[in-house]
Amino acid sequence: MVTAIGVVVVAAVGVTAFLAVDREPAGPRPLTADEANLLAVTRFRNYEAGGRAVTITVPTTSGGLVVTGSVDYRAKIGYGVVRGAGRGTSSDGLIQWNTTTVFLHPVVDAPAEVPATPPASDWHRRPLRTAGSSLDSALLIALDLGSDRPDNAELLPQNGAAWVGRDEIGGRRVDIMSGPAARAKPDTAGNVRYWLDPDGTMHRVQADVASEPQSVVIDFDARPYVPVRPAPGVVPTP
């Protein structure tokens, strides 16, 4: 399981160079006070928004999965369409999840976007695995990218958070910052990277997971957020 800023992070399996960074001063380097404040507030920005539209790209040994949908950061519930990437469609369908359970609804011809109202039946549930599944790690990471309060900006640089570089997403200039080490795990600093605009809004997250050599990537889309309606049996996280 990987968690966002200041919580638990899985062991790294190498850092993947995901995107070329503009020609800026070479990173990584320590965060400035202003940068630490941006990183500290970014998960709170998602909580303030209530929810975000997301695209989650999950590496797997059989080609990968892509989940397109939304995450409710108040209720800690995600909902999306899952599709196989570079593989068959056996895993395609609808998916909902909270911090403990994954609900799957197989669909032969999965829609491009999730239906606003989830199907009333034929959901299959299983426990969310905290180890050994890149999909479940990615789902949990996505839920952890919202918090009802800012993180401690003073502690982030002390625990290894750093500025990595600059990039452009959707025509917006963003800073790339790496997250701090997990509690009592100093070797995990840098396992999670954040693409943030000048007000701390999150545009992309890249995270290493122990079960795969490639990183999970979570993009926060320009698509409007569609409030998540829980499927039968799905409950908000306390």
For the stretch 98-108, pLDDT in tens is 999 999 999 88
pLDDT, the chain, mean = 86
Percent of the residues in the chain that have a pLDDT greater than 70, as a whole number: 86
Residue with tokens 């892509």: 66
Grade residue 222 by pLDDT with cuts at 50, 70 and 90.
confident
Full DSSP string of 31-72 = PPHHHHHHHHHHHHHHHHHSEEEEEEEE--TTS-EEEEEEEE
How many domains does one find in the chain?
1
pLDDT of res. 86: 62
Mean pLDDT, residues 52-60? 93
Looking at the domain assignment, is residue 158 inside a domain?
yes
In this structure, are residues 146 and 15 in contact, taking their beta carbons and an 8 Å threshold? no
Residue with tokens 């569609």: 226
What's the rounded Cα separation, in Å, for the pair 83 and 201? 27
Mean pLDDT, residues 25-35? 88
Q: What is the CATH number of the domain that holds 83?
A: 2.50.20
Entry pTM: 0.86
The HSE-up count of residue 20 (CA atoms within 13 Å, CB side) is 2
Looking at the domain assignment, is residue 85 inside a domain?
yes
Percent of the residues in the chain that have a pLDDT greater than 90, as a whole number: 61
> How many Cβ atoms from other residues are within 10 Å of residue 19's Cβ?
15
Looking at the domain assignment, is residue 13 inside a domain?
no
Grade residue 61 by pLDDT with cuts at 50, 70 and 90.
confident
Closest-CA residue to 151 (of 200, 93, 107): 200
Secondary structure of residue 75 in the 3-state scheme: coil
Looking at the domain assignment, is residue 69 inside a domain?
yes
pLDDT of res. 182: 82
Copy the structure tokens of residue 166. 């600059």
Looking at the domain assignment, is residue 24 inside a domain?
no
Q: How many secondary structure helices (H) and strands (E) does the chain include?
A: 3, 12
pLDDT of res. 25: 59
pLDDT of res. 3: 53
One-letter identity of residue 109: D
Looking at the domain assignment, is residue 2 inside a domain?
no
Note the pLDDT tens digit of each residue in 190-221: 999 999 999 999 999 999 988 788 899 999 98
Asked if residue 238 has pLDDT above 80, the reply is: no
pLDDT of res. 107: 87
Name the residue with higher pLDDT: 226 or 9: 226
In this structure, are residues 66 and 57 in contact, taking their beta carbons and an 8 Å threshold? yes
What's the rounded Cα separation, in Å, for the pair 202 and 193? 11
Please give the sequence-ordered ranges of beta strands (E in DSSP) within 85-211, or none if there are none: 93-97, 101-106, 124-127, 162-169, 172-178, 192-196, 202-209
CA 25 to chain centre: 27
What's the rounded Cα separation, in Å, for the pair 13 and 209? 7
Note the pLDDT tens digit of each residue in 83-140: 987 655 667 899 999 999 999 999 888 888 889 899 999 999 999 998 889 999 999 9
Grade residue 12 by pLDDT with cuts at 50, 70 and 90.
very low
| Domain extent for 68 | 29-220
Looking at the domain assignment, is residue 68 inside a domain?
yes
Looking at the domain assignment, is residue 5 inside a domain?
no
